[in-house]
Amino acid sequence: MKLKNRIVTLSLREIKKNIKRFASLAILSFLGVTIFVGIKLASEDMLATLDTYYDDNNMYDIRIISTLGLTKNDVNEIKMLDDRLTVYGSHSKDFIIKSNDENVILKIMEISNENTGFILNEGRLPKNKDEIVVESAMLIKNSLKIGDTIFLDIEDGEEENFKSNELTIVGRITSPEYLINGNGSSGRGSSSLGNGKVDFYSYTVSDFFNIDYYTEINVNVNNNYKTNSQEYNELIDEVKSKIEKIEEERKKQHYNEIVKEENKKIDEKEEEYLNEFNNAKKELESAHTMLLNGYEEIYASESSLNALKNQLDNSKEEIKRNEDMLKNASSQLNASKEQLESAINDINNELSKYNLDYENALVIKKVIEGVSLTKEEVISLIPKDIKIYDNVINVIDYIYDNGYSEAVGKLINGINKELIISLIPKEIENYDKIVDYIKDIDISKLRKKVINYLLDSKNIEKVKSLVPKDIPKYNNIIDVIDKCKLTVDRALELFNGIDKIQEGYEKYIEGLKELNYGNYQLENGKKEYEEYLNYYSSAIYQLENGKKEYEENLNKYNKNLEEYNTRKFDFEENIKNAREKINNIEYPKWYIYNRLDDSDYVSFLSSIESIENVSLIFPVVFFGVAIFISLISMSRMAFENRSEIGTLKSLGFNNNEIRFKYVVYSLLATLVGAALGATVGYFLLPRIIFNTYGILFEIPVFIYSSDIIQVFIGIILSMLCICGATIFTINSLIKEKTTILLRPKAPLKGKKILLERIKGVWNRFSFSNKVTIRNIFRYKKRVCMTILGIVGCTAVLLSGYAIRDSVVNLVATHFEEIFRYDDSVYVNDKISKEEVDKIFASSSIKEKLYTSVQTVKFKSSELELIAFYDESKLSKIITLKDKSSEEELKLQDNKIIVTSKFAKVHKINVNDIIEISDVNNKKYSFEVSGIAQNYLGNFIFMNRKTYEDNFEKYKTNMVYLKIDEKEEEKIISELLENTNVLGVSSTSDTLERLNGIFGSLDTIVLILVIFSGALAFVVLYNLSYINISERQREIATLKVLGFYPKEIDSYILKEEIIITILGVILGIIVGTWFGGIIVETVEIDMAQFIKKITLASYIKTILFMILFTVIVNIRVHFVLKKINMIESLKSVE
Amino acid sequence: MAYIEFEKVSKVYDMGEVKITALDETSFKIDEGELVVILGPSGAGKTTCLNILGGMDSATSGKVIVNGKEITSYNEKELIKYRRNDIGFVFQFYNLIQNLTALENVELSVQICDNYIEPVKVLKDVGLENRMNNFPSQLSGGEQQRVAIARSLAKNPRMLLCDEPTGALDYKTGKQILKLLEKTAREKKMTVVIITHNSAISQMADKVIKFKNGKQEEIIINENPKSIDEIEW
Domain count, chain A: 3
Complex confidence, ipTM: 0.85
Angstroms from B107 CA to nearest CA on chain A: 7
| Most confident by average pLDDT, A393-397, A933-937, B9-13 | B9-13
CB contact under 8 A, B58 and A654: no
Average pLDDT estimate for A530-555: 80
- Could you give the count of Cα atoms lying within 13 Å of A553 in the half-sphere of its Cβ? 17
The more confident residue out of A870 and A447 is A870
pLDDT of A658 above 80: yes
- The pLDDT score that the predictor gives to residue B59 is 92
Average pLDDT estimate for B184-212: 89
Partner-chain residue, chosen from A4, A644, A737, that has the shortest CB–CB distance to B97: A644
Angstroms from B34 CA to nearest CA on chain A: 22
pLDDT of A455 above 50: yes
Chain A residues in contact with B17 by the CB 8 A cut-off are none
Chain B residues in contact with A10 by the CB 8 A cut-off are 97, 99-100, 108
Our measurement of the distance from residue B213's CA atom to the centroid of its chain's CA atoms, rounded to an integer in Å, reads 21
Exposure string (b/e) for A945-978, b if CB count within 10 Å is 16 or more? ebbeeebeebbbbbbbbbbeeeebeebbeebbeb
Domain final residue pick, A955, A974, A990:
A990
- The pLDDT score that the predictor gives to residue A781 is 77
- The pLDDT score that the predictor gives to residue A1008 is 65
pLDDT of A750 above 70: no
The residue of A14, A16, A645, A647 whose CB has the most chain B CBs within 10 angstroms, and thus the best one to mutate to test that interface, is A647
| Interface residue A738 vs chain B (CB under 8 A) | yes
- The pLDDT score that the predictor gives to residue A800 is 77
Q: What is the dihedral of CA A668, A673, A678, A679, to 10 degrees?
A: 110
A641 falls within a domain = yes
The residues, ordered by sequence, that sit 6+ positions from A936 with a Cβ below 8 Å of its Cβ are A810, A811, A814, A818, A819, A994, A1086, A1087, A1088
Q: What span, in angstroms and rounded, lies between the C-alpha atoms of A776 and B180?
A: 50
Average pLDDT estimate for A532-555: 80
A506 falls within a domain = yes
Partner-chain residue, chosen from A647, A657, A738, that has the shortest CB–CB distance to B57: A738
Domain final residue pick, A736, A758, A787:
A736
A68 falls within a domain = no
The 3 state secondary structure assigned to A589-645 is CEEEEEHHHCHHHHHHHHHHHHHHHHHHHHHHHHHHHHHHHHHHHHHHHHHHCHHHH
Q: What is the dihedral of CA A1047, A1049, A1050, A1056, to 10 degrees?
A: 160
pLDDT digits (tens, 9 = 90+) for A605-654: 877 887 887 777 778 877 887 888 888 888 878 878 888 888 888 888 88
pLDDT of B193 above 90: yes
Search chain A and give the residue with CA nearest B152.
Answer: A651
| Interface residue A758 vs chain B (CB under 8 A) | no
pLDDT of A1013 above 50: yes
- The pLDDT score that the predictor gives to residue A27 is 86
pLDDT of A1132 above 60: no
Give residue A2's pLDDT band: very low, low, confident or very high (50, 70, 90).
low
pLDDT of A185 above 60: no
Number of Cβ pairs closer than 8 Å across A and B?
Answer: 82
A468 falls within a domain = yes
A1087 falls within a domain = no
CB contact under 8 A, B99 and A737: no
The residue of B74, B79, B108 whose CB has the most chain A CBs within 10 angstroms, and thus the best one to mutate to test that interface, is B108
Phi-psi domain of A19 (left: phi exceeds 0; alpha: psi -120 through 50; beta: other): alpha
The residue of B79, B94, B96, B111 whose CB has the most chain A CBs within 10 angstroms, and thus the best one to mutate to test that interface, is B111
The full length of chain B comes to: 233
Chain A residues in contact with B155 by the CB 8 A cut-off are 651-652
pLDDT of B40 above 60: yes
Chain B residues in contact with A648 by the CB 8 A cut-off are 97
Partner-chain residue, chosen from A3, A650, A654, that has the shortest CB–CB distance to B54: A650
The residue of B49, B51, B56, B104 whose CB has the most chain A CBs within 10 angstroms, and thus the best one to mutate to test that interface, is B56
Chain B residues in contact with A22 by the CB 8 A cut-off are none
| Interface residue A652 vs chain B (CB under 8 A) | yes
Angstroms from B100 CA to nearest CA on chain A: 7
Chain A residues in contact with B137 by the CB 8 A cut-off are none
- The pLDDT score that the predictor gives to residue A1131 is 53
Secondary structure percentages of chain B, helix, strand, coil, to 5: 35, 30, 35
The residues, ordered by sequence, that sit 6+ positions from A908 with a Cβ below 8 Å of its Cβ are A898, A902, A914, A928, A931
Partner-chain residue, chosen from A7, A649, A1132, that has the shortest CB–CB distance to B93: A1132
pLDDT digits (tens, 9 = 90+) for B149-188: 999 999 889 899 999 998 888 888 888 889 988 988 888 8
Angstroms from B125 CA to nearest CA on chain A: 19
Percent of chain B with pLDDT over 90: 37
- The pLDDT score that the predictor gives to residue A1014 is 75
Average pLDDT estimate for A413-421: 72
Domains of chain B with CATH codes: 33-60+84-226 (3.40.50.300)
Do A848 and A977 lie in one domain? The reply is yes
Residues on B contacting A at a C-beta cutoff of 8 Å: 51, 54, 56-58, 77, 80-85, 87, 89, 91, 93, 95-100, 104-105, 107-113, 118, 151, 155
Chain A residues in contact with B97 by the CB 8 A cut-off are 10, 644, 647-648
pLDDT digits (tens, 9 = 90+) for A592-605: 888 877 777 877 88
Give residue A486's pLDDT band: very low, low, confident or very high (50, 70, 90).
low
CB contact under 8 A, B56 and A14: no
- Would you tell me how many other CB atoms lie within 10 Å of the CB of residue B139? 19
The answer to whether A206 and A718 are in contact (CB under 8 A) is: no
Sign of the C-alpha dihedral computed for residues A431, A433, A435 and A438 taken in this order: negative
Give residue A573's pLDDT band: very low, low, confident or very high (50, 70, 90).
confident
| Interface residue A13 vs chain B (CB under 8 A) | yes
Give residue A583's pLDDT band: very low, low, confident or very high (50, 70, 90).
confident
Search chain B and give the residue with CA nearest A5.
Answer: B111
Average pLDDT estimate for A1077-1106: 78
| Interface residue A753 vs chain B (CB under 8 A) | no
Mutual orientation of helices A72-79 and A230-351 as an angle, nearest 10°?
Answer: 160
Using only C-alpha atoms, what is the Rg of chain A?
70
A952 falls within a domain = yes
Do A715 and A818 lie in one domain? The reply is no
CB contact under 8 A, B99 and A738: no
CB contact under 8 A, A652 and B84: yes
* H or E element, residue A29: helix A19-56
Do A722 and A857 lie in one domain? The reply is no
A155 falls within a domain = no
The more confident residue out of B180 and A550 is B180
- The pLDDT score that the predictor gives to residue A410 is 63
- The pLDDT score that the predictor gives to residue A1133 is 44
The answer to whether A702 and A689 are in contact (CB under 8 A) is: no
A657 falls within a domain = yes
pLDDT digits (tens, 9 = 90+) for A60-117: 899 998 878 888 888 998 899 888 888 989 998 888 887 666 678 889 999 887 777 8
pLDDT of A187 above 70: no
- The pLDDT score that the predictor gives to residue A407 is 64
Give residue B60's pLDDT band: very low, low, confident or very high (50, 70, 90).
very high
- The pLDDT score that the predictor gives to residue A676 is 92
Angstroms from B156 CA to nearest CA on chain A: 12
Sign of the C-alpha dihedral computed for residues A549, A551, A554 and A556 taken in this order: negative
Partner-chain residue, chosen from A4, A17, A650, that has the shortest CB–CB distance to B107: A4
- The pLDDT score that the predictor gives to residue A743 is 77
Give residue A489's pLDDT band: very low, low, confident or very high (50, 70, 90).
low
Chain A residues in contact with B56 by the CB 8 A cut-off are 649-650, 737-739, 742
| Interface residue A460 vs chain B (CB under 8 A) | no
The mean of the pLDDT values for chain A is: 81
Do A521 and A624 lie in one domain? The reply is no
- Could you give the count of Cα atoms lying within 13 Å of A1074 in the half-sphere of its Cβ? 21
| Interface residue A14 vs chain B (CB under 8 A) | yes
Chain A residues in contact with B91 by the CB 8 A cut-off are 650, 742
pLDDT of A1128 above 70: no
The residue of B83, B117, B133 whose CB has the most chain A CBs within 10 angstroms, and thus the best one to mutate to test that interface, is B83
Chain B residues in contact with A742 by the CB 8 A cut-off are 56, 91, 95
Percent of chain A with pLDDT over 70: 90
Range of the domain at A731: 1-61+618-736
pLDDT of A871 above 80: yes
Do A504 and A643 lie in one domain? The reply is no
Q: Which of residues 656-685 of A touch B (CB under 8 A)?
A: 657
Search chain B and give the residue with CA nearest A741.
Answer: B56
Search chain B and give the residue with CA nearest A643.
Answer: B95
Partner-chain residue, chosen from B77, B112, B118, that has the shortest CB–CB distance to A653: B112
Least trusted range by pLDDT, from A331-345, A709-723, A869-883: A331-345
The full length of chain A comes to: 1133
Give residue B73's pLDDT band: very low, low, confident or very high (50, 70, 90).
very high
Do A486 and A632 lie in one domain? The reply is no
Do A830 and A972 lie in one domain? The reply is yes
The answer to whether B150 and B123 are in contact (CB under 8 A) is: yes
Q: What span, in angstroms and rounded, lies between the C-alpha atoms of A1060 and A787?
A: 7
Search chain B and give the residue with CA nearest A2.
Answer: B111
Angstroms from A666 CA to nearest CA on chain B: 18
Do A375 and A521 lie in one domain? The reply is yes
Give residue A751's pLDDT band: very low, low, confident or very high (50, 70, 90).
low
The residues, ordered by sequence, that sit 6+ positions from A274 with a Cβ below 8 Å of its Cβ are none
Average pLDDT estimate for A350-368: 72
- The pLDDT score that the predictor gives to residue A133 is 93
**Do strands A895-899 and A981-986 pair parallel, antiparallel, or not at all (unpaired)?**
unpaired
Do A950 and A847 lie in one domain? The reply is yes
Partner-chain residue, chosen from A1, A10, A738, that has the shortest CB–CB distance to B56: A738
Domain final residue pick, A736, A769, A789:
A736
Q: What span, in angstroms and rounded, lies between the C-alpha atoms of A246 and A856?
A: 22
Average pLDDT estimate for B117-142: 91
Chain B residues in contact with A652 by the CB 8 A cut-off are 80-85, 87, 109, 112-113, 155
The answer to whether A145 and A169 are in contact (CB under 8 A) is: yes
